[in-house]
Structure 1
């Protein structure tokens, strides 16, 4: 049975550039390689976003948009 099996694959993390919402009432953030424009706006509250970094699991965006 597979109920007690753990994921044996190591989760690789790295410091990743993100954009965070500047509104105090919103905690939305977006990875830089998934942003929709050069300077994105928050998709939730439409406030400005500012660049920052987070330790996140490594994932690739195979959609090559250049902004």
Structure 2
């Protein structure tokens, strides 16, 4: 039997606004539209976060 997997279309990354942790050794970041606070605190190390942008696949 032959099973053919449909070729998935490649997902184009878009520039997305994010929050990044200000601590150098912390790698935490979150999408801006998914944060609940106006200026969030890092959930991992409790440091402040700053706005940045990143190329990410869009969320449906």
Q: How does the TM-score come out when normalised to structure 1?
A: 0.75
From the CA coordinates, give the structure whose radius of gyration is larger.
Answer: 2
Structure 1: runs of 5 or more not aligned: 61-67
CA RMSD of aligned residues (A): 2.0
Q: How does the TM-score come out when normalised to structure 2?
A: 0.83
Q: Which residue pairs with 2:53 in the alignment?
A: 53
Number of equivalenced pairs = 59
Q: Which residue pairs with 1:32 in the alignment?
A: 32
* Structure 1 ranges of 4+ moved more than 3 A: 4-7
Structure 2: runs of 5 or more not aligned: none
* DSSP-derived class of the 2:33 partner: helix
CA drift at 1:7: 5.2
